[in-house]
Structures are given as C-alpha cells and as structure tokens.
Structure 1
Amino acid sequence: MSLAEWQKIEVRADRSYPVFLGAPLQELGEYLHSQMDDVEHILIITHHSVADLYFDRLMEGLQDYRVNLFKIPAGEEGKSLERLSQLTTSALRYGADRKTLVIALGGGVIGDLAGFFASVFMRGIRLIQVPTTLLAQVDSSIGGKVAVNHPAGKNILGSFYPPQAVWTDFTTLESLPWGEVENGLAESIKHAIIADSDLFEFFEKQEQSIKQRDPSVWREMVARSSAVKVRIVSQDEREQGVRALLNLGHSFGHALETEMNYRGVTHGQGVSIGLLAAAYLANAKGFITLDEVDRVKHLLITFGLPTVIKGQDSQALLQGMKTDKKNQGGRKILILPKGIGQAVVSKECTDPEILAAWDQVISSDDEVES
C-alpha cells in the first residue's frame, strides 16, 4: 500500500496534521523520508511490553536513522515529573537536539508523557504519535493534549502540542487484552453520546462482532470514533468552546482516579462510571430521559464496563472535582449529555446535585455491578 492509499483524516487546526488509519508500522520510515528530510535522530518512547511486540516492526522502516529507545513501566505512575526528568537526562545522553524526532509508541500514558516531553525539551521538538491501544487510536493520540500528573490531580501539568502526524496500525489491536479494549470502548461510547447517535446504535447492534474482534467492524468503529474526535478538535483546538464536550464523564472519572491514586481503576473504568454519573445528573437537570440513562447504562454493562464503584466517599470525590481544569471562578463546569448524540456545558450544577449523582454510582455492597 502507498501513502495515497491509506485512509487519512486531516485535523484542521493552527497547524494541521494527518491521522493515518490502517498504516503499517514498518512503513512509517517511508513517510518520514517523504516529509522530514532533516531528521537524523529519533527517540522512541514506549513501554517494555509494547517494545517487545512492535519495536522490531517499527525499526524495519527506520534503518537510515540513529534511533534510541526509552522504555518506562506501564501505569499512570509513569506520567510524573520524576519520569520526565529521567527522560530528559537520557535524551541528553543520547545526543538529542532540536532536530530530534520523538515517536510515542504505545497508549495514552506514553502519548501524554512523550508528547509533554517533546513540547518542553529545548522549547519544543517534533512528535509523531503511534497509538497501539484502542483508547489511544480513537481518542488520546488526536488533538494535541499532552500532560503529566501531579499529586493534586490528573493532567494538571500539560500543554497543547499537536503531533506532525498520527500513525495508526490496526494490527496492534490484535494483541490487546480485553481490559485495554474496555478503556477504548469507554471513550468511543463517549464520542457516540456527545456527537453521533448513529454510532451509539452501531455499538448496540454490533455487540457480538465487537466482542469477537471482527476486523472490519473494528476498523469501522475506530474510523467513526476517530472522526468524531477529529471533527470536534478541528473546530476548537484549544478547548475554548465545543472541544470541552469531549470531557463528558471525565470530571467524575478523573476525580475517582485521583482519589484511588490510580490503583484499582483504569482510565476507561473511571470514564465509564463518570459517563453514568453524568447521565444521572443530566436526568436531574432535565436534559436526558430515564430511558436514555438506561440505554447508556445497558451499553456500558454489555461491554463489561463498570457502572458502580465500591466503598467510595462522595464528599471526598466532590472535593477532588474542585481541581478540574474546566472550573471557573470556583464554579464546577460539567459536561452533561443532552439526549444521546448531543451534550452541553453546564455551569449551574450544585454540590448537592453532584453528590446525588455520585451516590447513584457508589455501592457499599459486597457485589459491584459490572
């Protein structure tokens, strides 16, 4: 396949960039030769397990470059200032300079860390996102948001730093554990709720094909979900308006992840619980019917995503939401579904309303619905 034959979606922004779909890892080198004739040094940032699976394939096309590999352990703990410092020290030891190209090979954590490093190293060097998880392919690799965590909250330290390109090889999804698939499904379902009711119905109708990893269905799922993200980011690159809608479920989910110190709940699980909490809150505000809330809940359960969390303190979670980056002037700004296929920014949610939504998804029972 040639460059012209791969499916491509263009992100229209201050600096536009392509999202390639179904592009083989081993052919990234051909693209680099055609687009960046001054690159000599490449720094690949990835996880140990991802390197074992995909580094050799990626290197097939990078033989003409001086390549160094930086591997970090899996988990949100990798997105820290300490890890950023270690990465900077290693990059300097490798001889990285302003013409070095960073390749983020992995999921959302790698994309965030590598992207943030690229944005600040020598005031900014070039970046290619090579997402290998469903979550990264449909969501986190697109849009230019990069960040590291802080004890006060998730992604508190970050920037908008678009890549030169997003290089998506669907075959990397074949080895993905189902738990990682669920992370991506949560984000894809979120895209459907906020902007594409037909995509929501697609998930309802294609349950078995998705679970069975039908390649054609997965390609359509990734392409349609990615298209939602691209369309919204192209309208509002720096989250001054419509892009905020992509945070549906995240104010709740990030508070939960932070409260649990990123242990015992994945990002996708946090988003899943957050989607349902936001739906309950939206119902209380008159934006969505109970039947629609039930559809959201049923779809999440269908794919094994959690809809309740055990033994959490709603007051503590409410407190954790105070550090959300969308908040303004001490007011909590929340994204709520408006039916299925639309969402709104709500600046009028009271603490009692938010607490009531939390209480709907917190269980003290031994059995937790999933």
Structure 2
Amino acid sequence: ESAQAEKVAAVEAKSVAAVEAAKIEMSEKIAALEAKVASVQAPAIIKIAKTVRSDVNRAVREQLIDFYKGNNRVEKELKMFADESQYDAYLREASALTAGGDGKGGRTAYDPTFVALRLINPMRGLSRTVATDGSSYQFRVKTGNAGAAWGYTIQNNGATTTEDTTIWQLVLQDLNVQFPIRTAALDDIDGLEANVVDDMLAEFSQSEALSMIQNNDQAAQSASNPYGGTNGLRGLDQYAGSNATYAGGTSTAAAFGSSGTGSSSGLHSLATYDQLTSNVNTVGANAIVYKDVINTIYALPQQYWTPNTKFMVNPILAQAIRGLQDTNGRPIFNSIESLNPDGIIGQLLGFDVVMNKYL
C-alpha cells in the first residue's frame, strides 16, 4: 500500500509540473503576442478634436451611445462640459467663429513651410560644370596648321607649319552664405530646414545668372552695379562690338584680352549684331524685324551650325519675334514652320531656343 501511495504521489507531482510548464509556455506566448500587437502602427480610432465644440459634441455622442447600449429607457442627465473652464472656452470660441486672423475661430492648423519659385540659371544648361580646388582655371588650345601639301610623295612640311598652343585663364570667383537662422528654429519649424537649403541653392543659381549677364567686374559693387562688382563675374553685357557707333544691319567681332592670364585679359572674341532699326537705348523698345533674325543666323560661321547650337533669348525679345507678321497680318514663324507645335515655342529657324529672363 505504501508503494502504491508513492506512485500516486509521483504521478500527481508530474501532473502539477506539466500544468505549471504549460501555464508558463502560454504566458510567454501571450506576452509575445501582446508585444507584437503593440508594435503595429495602427491609426487612432478616435480622431483628436481640433476645437472645443468638437470635444463637446464627441462627449455627448459617446454618452448617448452608452445610454442606448445599456437598454435603459429612463431619463438620463447628459454632461456637456467637463468643467467651467471648458464652458468658458466654448463661449469664447463660438463668439469668434466668424472672425479672421490668428487666434480667431479656434485652434490654428498649419502647412509645412514652402518657398516661392526662383528661376534657376538657364545658362547652366549650356555650360560645363568643372570641380577644382584651384584659384584659377586654364583653357589650352592648339592653333595653326600642320602644313598639308598636295602630291603623291609624302610631304614633310610641304607647306608652312604654323602649329602652336595658347591659353585662356579664368580667375575663379567665390559665392557663399552663412544662414542667419538659429538651429532651434530649423528643428522646430516643420519643413524649414529642407526648404532653406533648397532655396539657398536656387538663390546661388540666381545670383550666378545675374552676375554672368549684367555684372561689371571692372567697377566696385554699388547700387548701380549690384551683382558682385570686382568680386563677381564678367557679365556678357560688358562686351561691346567693334563698331564705334551704331551701324544697322552689320555684324562685328571684337577681341578682348592679350595675355590670357586673367579674367580681364583672356584671349576671346565676341560677335555683335546691330539690328536694322536702333532701339535708341529706350527701355522697353523693341524694333526687331524678320530680316534681323535672318542676318543673325547668317552672321554665325557655318561650322557652328550644329544640332547642339541654340538661341538664348530674353522672353521679351522672343515675344517680339513670335509676334512678327507679314503684310497679310499672319504670324511669320507660324507659316514658315508648318504649324509644328515644337516650333511655336521650342525652336527658331531650326535651332532650339532657351529662354533666359536674366539677359
């Protein structure tokens, strides 16, 4: 009997241990499931109210739902306001709902910070970007002829050899900025930091474009020369033609520089066309005619008539060109371009057009 009692006790002990092990295992599984459920980013079921009136309406609806679900059909007192301060806030909010301005009509909602559009420098699309750590950048060019000569016999300098090299050196200029914004403001205002950086890059491009076109690097920066002065770039507006005075319908090439070792003495030349009718330095005047456009094309050497050649024009000039009409009042560039949609805006006499309001 004692042996049988010991066996029964052992079986009971094993059963208790098995039950405890099962409880522990189940507890661990439930804890793991709760952790997994807690990690799910589920949206809030109850939306956060934005006004005191919304808070009150939601509280009343919840009380009515509880009353209905409780299957009670007796009178029930509804609690509309949590306390006297909420009632006062409700009255102040309701009295200002038709007003405008900050602090009127409830709580203020806001949109992430944004910036106004700037025009990125259109000349970047026609330029090369070169990264360098120097203070100047030098172009090297081979000039002259090898001396080719006619005849079946191999020629050794059968004609005069004039090959040589020359340089054109650009002194690099610097454009920089330091943000006048506290780090705390960048962190606190939604979207500010990214927009500040994006707008800074666009501002750099805008300043670059204005200096490329209008700056006079031979004079100090001033109210009449605001785009860098001696610290800026040589603007295209500073290059004049070789004609001493206006000569309508003529093209001239003016050479600039002699040594090539500085931004003011580089070896380069620019062609200038004087249109048939002068604008007489009148702001807003635009006396261009169809023949001026043709003359400009044929003043360009043929070796530059490539698929990559482009017109870069100010929108005001482009508007005047597109508005040219024949004697019957028809748009000239519509008729000669066969109503090609790409030709209305994007091309002029077969060449692509790049708009640049900074010109």
Name the TM-score class by shorter chain. under 0.3
Structure with bigger strand share is 1
Larger Rg: 2
**Bigger relative CO (Cα 8 Å, ≥ 6 apart):** 1
Structure with bigger helix share is 1
